[in-house]
Amino acid sequence: METAATFRSSLGIPSYYDVRSVVKGPDFVQFGSISRVTPASVKQHPLISHVKLGQSRVTLKSRKCTRIRSSMSSSSNSGGSTAPIAPLQLESPIGQFLSEILVSHPHLVPAAVEQQLEQLQTDRDAESQKEEPAASGTDLVLYRRIAEVKANERRKALEEILYALIVQKFMDASVSLIPSIGPSLDPSGQVDKWPSHEEKLERLHSHEAYEMIQNHLALILGNRVADSSSVAQISKLRVGQVYAASVMYGYFLKRVDQRFQLEKSMRILPQGSDDGVLSNTQEMVGQEDGPGTDVAANTFRTAQSHPEVSSWSAGGVSAGGFGHGMKSSRLRTYVMSFDGETLHRYATIRSKEAVSIIEKHTEALFGRPEIVITPEGTVDSSKDELIKISFGGLRRLVLEAVTFGSFLWDVESHVDSRYHFVAN
C-alpha cells in the first residue's frame, strides 16, 4: 500500500484531504490542520493553481468539458431540459458515453460498465505483454511516455466509471444530487433551494450507521441540528471543507458498518457492542487530548476560528459543547473497541481513484476559491466568498456527502472485483 506521502505527491492532495493522516475517533476524520496555512501546504493545495506569498492573490483555473445533463444532445430532445444531474464534468470518451446512458437508460449503466471494464482489462493486459524495445535513448523514452499516457487515460476512464456508478445509485434512490453552488437567482440570495430528501437518504443506511450520522451532524451543527429555517452567511470554502470531510467519513462509516453487520449476523460482536450504552459517557465523546479524541470536535474547533463559523456560536451552535447532542450507539461502541492500527486501516481510502473523485466532485460542487495568504501564513478571511444557506441546507449537504462516501466504498469494491486497481 502506498504511503500518504506518495499519495499527496502523486495527486497533489493536501494532508487534510488524506484520510490516512489523522484518525482519533469514530465520529469524524481530520485531515491535518486547517487553522494555519504554511507556504509549503499552500503550494500543495488542490484548489489552488498558483500562489504568491505575502498579501498576494491566488489565481484560479477551470476545466472545460461536458457535464452529465438531464437531456440528450440529440435533435429530438433539443427542446428538453439541460439541467445537470451531477456537478462533476466528465471528460473521457467512456465518461461521456456513460453520461448519455445515465440520461437515456440509467438501468443499463451496470451492463455498460461491465463492457467498458472488460475492454480496459483487455487493453491493460495487452500493454503488459508488450516488451520494451531494445533500442535506447529517444526511442525508449518515447515508448515509455506513450505507455504512461495510455495508463493515465485508463485511470481517468476508471475514475469516471466509478463516478457514473455513484450517480446511478443516487438515481436509483430517487435522490437528486445538489447542483454546483453558484450565485443564487433567488431574490434573498439563499443558495439552498434543493429538496431535502432526508427520509430517502436515511433509508440508504443501516439503523446503526444512521445513528452515527446523527452524531456527526450534532458535532457539526450543535443545537442547530434541528433548526431547518434559520439562514446564515457562511464561508463557501469552509462549507466545502466540511463536505469533503463528510464524504470521507461516509466512506469510513460504510466500511466499518459492513464488518459490524457481518459480525452481528454471526453473533460474534465484542462484548458491550450490542448493549447500546457505555457506562462512561466521556469515554464515548472522548477526551480532548487523549487517544480517543473525537476528531470532529478538533476539526470544528479549528473551523470556529473563522469569523463566519464563530458567528454560529452566537446563535447557539454547540452551546452545550462538542458532546452536545451526542447519543450512545451500538456501532460507535463497536468502533471504539478497535485498536489504533485497525482504526487507521479502516479510515484509509484505498485507491488513488477514490481520492481523486472526492477532490474533483467537491471542486465541481463548490468551485475553486479565491484565497489571499497573509505574510504570517494564515488565510485572510476577509476575501472569502460568502453564501447564504439555511441550517436545513447545511444538513442536506452533510447527509448527501456521507451518502456519497458510502456509495464510493460500494462502487470501488464492486469495480475492483472485476478490474483490480486497489492497492493491497
Nearest to 300 by CA among 392, 412, 195, 224: 224
Residue reference for cell 466568498: 385
Nearest to 261 by CA among 342, 207, 199: 207
Q: Would you state the pLDDT for residue 299? A: 37
Give first-to-last CA distance, the chain, whole Å.
6
Q: How far apart are CA 184 and CA 202, in angstroms?
A: 28
List of residues 6+ apart from 152 with CB closer than 8 A? none
Is the dihedral angle over the CA atoms 177, 96, 359, 45 positive or is it negative?
Answer: negative
Nearest to 27 by CA among 254, 238, 285, 400: 285
**Runs of H (alpha helix) within 12-82:** 39-43
Task: Report helix, strand or coil for 57.
Answer: strand
Task: Report helix, strand or coil for 138.
Answer: helix
Q: How far apart are CA 340 and CA 357, in angstroms?
A: 27
Cβ neighbours, 10 Å, residue 35: 15
Q: How far apart are CA 147 and CA 127, in angstroms?
A: 8
**Runs of H (alpha helix) within 322-377:** 330-336, 340-346, 352-366
Q: Would you state the pLDDT for residue 132? A: 73
CA 174 to chain centre: 20
CB 249 within 8 Å of CB 357: no
Cβ neighbours, 10 Å, residue 248: 27
Spans of the chain, pLDDT less than 70: 1-82, 135, 272-328, 424
CB 182 within 8 Å of CB 236: no
Cβ neighbours, 10 Å, residue 9: 12
CB 320 within 8 Å of CB 222: yes
Q: Would you state the pLDDT for residue 331? A: 92
Q: Would you state the pLDDT for residue 46? A: 37
Q: What are phi and psi of 398, to 5 degrees?
A: -65, -40
Nearest to 309 by CA among 221, 207, 177, 216: 221
Residue reference for cell 433548526: 227
pLDDT digits over 319-336, tens only?
333 344 556 678 999 999
List of residues 6+ apart from 359 with CB closer than 8 A? 11, 13, 17, 46, 244
The torsion region of residue 72 among left (phi > 0), alpha (psi -120 to 50) and beta comes to beta
